[in-house]
Each structure stands twice: as C-alpha cells, then as structure tokens.
C-alpha cells in the first residue's frame, strides 16, 4: 500500500501541471461562449445636411466638353448666352477683354507708320 500514495501524489501533480499548461481535464467546463443574439450596434444621427454647412475640397469638371478654336487670343469677360439658348449667325456669344487686342492694334499701327515712312524715303530717293 505504500506504493499507492506516491502514485496518487504523482497523478495529482501531473493533473495540476496539465491544467496550468492549458490542457483541459474532462471534468473542467469550457468557458461560456458569448451569447449569439447580442451584436454590436452602430447608430447614426440623421439630420439636415444643409444646415450643418459642411465644405469639402473638390474639383468641378464639365460633364460635356467641347473643343473650340478661335481666331484671336484673349480673356472672356462676358458670356452672352446660356446652355440651351438658340444662337443664330451674327449673334454675339461672348465678349473678350479688349486690352490684349488693343495692344496688338497699336503694334500694327506702328508697323504701318514705319512702312509709310520707308515708302516716302524710297520715293524721295527715286526722284
């Protein structure tokens, strides 16, 4: 009977060591599983978005783009027609900034005057 006591002590120590290391013993209950019916809920407050006054960065791009070509360069100062307006031949659809064009006109007038002076000089030399 003396042999039974060391074997029992050994088995008890072995069971305690197994429990400490993560082994499940048959009489231990597993930890309770979370209830299947409980789920986290996210709530959102719905309100008037215009009253909040949010501003966000962005780029506005035309839905329809039309490639146009012009005979002169310049900055548009006025657009005289709107989308859907009927345009006929001769209608003014846009007005350009005249400053750029007036500079070109002055340069052309100076070139004309220089050519006239050159013409007079050539005529005087020819006589």
pLDDT 10s digits, 32-86: 766 677 777 888 877 665 655 677 888 888 788 777 777 777 788 899 998 888 8
Q: Quick one: how far is CA 66 from the chain centroid?
A: 23
Indicate the number of domains in the chain: 1
Residue 80 in domain: no
Residue 1 in domain: no
Residue 113, domain extent: 97-127
More confident residue, 5 or 76: 76
Residue 122 in domain: yes
pLDDT of amino acid 113 = 96
Phi, psi torsion values for 36, nearest 5 degrees: -70, -25
What is the C-alpha separation between 76 and 95, in angstroms, rounded? 6
Residue 40 in domain: no
pLDDT of amino acid 107 = 93
Residue 114 in domain: yes
pLDDT at 106 over 70: yes
Residue 22 in domain: no
């Amino acid at each position: 009977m003396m042999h039974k006591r060391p074997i029992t002590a050994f088995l008890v120590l072995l069971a305690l060591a197994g429990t400490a290391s993560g082994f499940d013993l048959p009489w231990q209950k597993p930890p309770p599983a979370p209830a299947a019916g409980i789920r986290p809920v996210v709530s959102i407050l719905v309100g008037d978005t215009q009253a909040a006054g949010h501003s966000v960065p962005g780029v506005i791009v035309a839905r329809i783009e039309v490639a146009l070509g012009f005979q002169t360069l310049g900055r548009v100062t006025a657009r005289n027609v709107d989308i859907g307006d009927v345009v006929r031949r001769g209608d003014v659809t846009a007005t350009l900034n005249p400053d750029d064009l007036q500079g070109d006109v002055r340069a052309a007038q100076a070139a004309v005057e220089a050519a006239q002076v050159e013409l007079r000089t050539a005529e005087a030399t020819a006589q």
